[in-house]
Amino acid sequence: MLLKTQNTEARRTCWRCKCLLIAHVADTHLGYMQYNLEERFEDFNDAFREVVDKAINEHVDVLVHAGDAFHDPRPSIKALKFFREQLRRLHSRGIPVIAVPGSHDMLKRRGMPPLSLFDDLGLKLLTFATPSAEVKGIFFGGFQYLPRHRHDSIIAKLREIEIEAREKGGKKILVLHQALEHLLPIAYEISLAELPKNFSYYAMGHIHSHHVIPYGKGVLSYPGSTEVLSVDEIKHIDDKGFNIVDLSGDEPIIHRVRIESVRPQLRYKSSAEELLALAEKIRKEIVSAKALKKPLIHVEVTSEVDRFTYEKVEKLLQPFCLKVRIARKIEEEGYITTTVTELESISVEQAIAEYLKIKGLGDKEVSIAIEILRTLSLGNLTEKEAVARTIEEIEHIFGVKSGESKEDRA
């Protein structure tokens, strides 16, 4: 299958030739006040607003959101209000929205997801109970995020959708918030081969980096997150965006649309002794870059930084950046120890995976831990409680104790 890309200028004339255009976005994580900064809350809003701006300008027919519209299953009133305002803009221009709940914006077992509040503005929510819809002549199938321990349910529902899709003519789009095994081998839910093969386009969410994979009769894509949610994502910062998919021809054409409002983030490594010199270098880089937003600075140091040095670095850089985050990371006898500050910058799942690796456990045990965490997170526990319970369960199952490695037990 031939995958094509076109620049924005070429695409803007597409509406004149009756193209069938789908905007595909995922993992917008609205309401996330990262590092307790109000500016980060607004950054996630800015990114989604830009998606809506560009979707409207490109005259898309439908906008698909593949999960994690919100960062929390109980988003703030401010986050809900902002999302409603953006949906109203789309609705007023005749652009309906198809969405599935993601792993972050699903309420507890018997609750309703926050996305169910917006059906009056043209949002059609695909769930396990209502897994299909037809909008503007397009068949959409899909359902909410399900953890891997419900793998059999995922496969059974996919087969139901596949059978229903066979009876439909025209274009067909599958919308899922699940991780594929070959892209996220430690914490996946399904494999590529388990997906039905009779869809024109597979609109995926959950993985925060951009991927395009020819599959079956169409193309599968993760657009990635619209903003940076962890330090590990900084390497993909220039590719934060969404897809506009042209379904007019026999083969889908994916147009990648970059989000320009993403806040810059810079990542460095340094010894404590060289930190002040690095700070001066960073200051010069920020000034010369002339970015519209002040960057977030992440510095990983290999030894303890004294308060005097830290204050000098902060004083030097604070006028030029939103926040300076200094994390100490030490590798000793093959193990990596990270400070609490560093753990804030990676996902909870990544933090648990790293902790268990330090304890000498393998991918299988890590995968089990992730499943336990996700299951507990769907209950009535807070995130901290779910993490603590997960560690307790894993330590009990595999006989690992805090402060003890696999070698210690041998």
* Digit-coded pLDDT (tens) for 10-55: 344 454 456 899 999 999 999 999 999 999 999 999 999 999 999 9
The CATH architecture of the domain made up of 8-258 is 4-Layer Sandwich (3.60)
The helix-helix angle for 307-317 and 275-289 (nearest 10°) equals 10
Whether the CA torsion 176, 182, 184, 190 is positive or negative: it is positive
pTM of the shown model: 0.80
Closest by CA to 275, choosing from 245, 238, 239, 300, is: 300
- The per-residue pLDDT for range 358-369, each reduced to its tens digit, is 677 777 777 777
Q: How far apart are CA 257 and CA 279, in angstroms?
A: 33
**What average pLDDT score do residues 97-104 get?**
96
Mean pLDDT of all residues in the chain? 86
Which residue(s) pair with 125 in the sheet? 99
Cα distances (angstroms) measured from residue 166 to each of 191, 199, 248: 21, 9, 20
Which tops the pLDDT comparison, 408 or 148?
Answer: 148
- pLDDT at site 407: 45
- The per-residue pLDDT for range 356-395, each reduced to its tens digit, is 776 777 777 777 777 777 666 655 566 666 777 777 777 7
- The domain spans of the chain are 8-258, 265-396
338 pLDDT more than 50: no
- The per-residue pLDDT for range 209-254, each reduced to its tens digit, is 999 999 998 999 999 999 999 998 999 999 999 999 999 999 999 9
- The per-residue pLDDT for range 247-291, each reduced to its tens digit, is 999 999 999 999 999 999 999 999 889 999 999 999 999 999 989
Closest by CA to 226, choosing from 102, 5, 49, is: 49
**What average pLDDT score do residues 89-111 get?**
89
- pLDDT class of 303 with cuts at 50, 70, 90: confident
Q: Is residue 178 a contact partner of residue 144, using CB atoms and an 8 Å limit?
A: no
Q: Is residue 172 a contact partner of residue 161, using CB atoms and an 8 Å limit?
A: no
- pLDDT class of 302 with cuts at 50, 70, 90: confident
- The per-residue pLDDT for range 184-203, each reduced to its tens digit, is 888 899 999 999 999 999 99
396 pLDDT more than 50: yes
- pLDDT at site 362: 73
Q: How many CB atoms lie within 10 A of CB 311?
A: 11
Which tops the pLDDT comparison, 350 or 129?
Answer: 129
- pLDDT at site 18: 65
Structure tokens at 77: 């009133």
- pLDDT at site 40: 97
Q: Is residue 365 a contact partner of residue 394, using CB atoms and an 8 Å limit?
A: yes
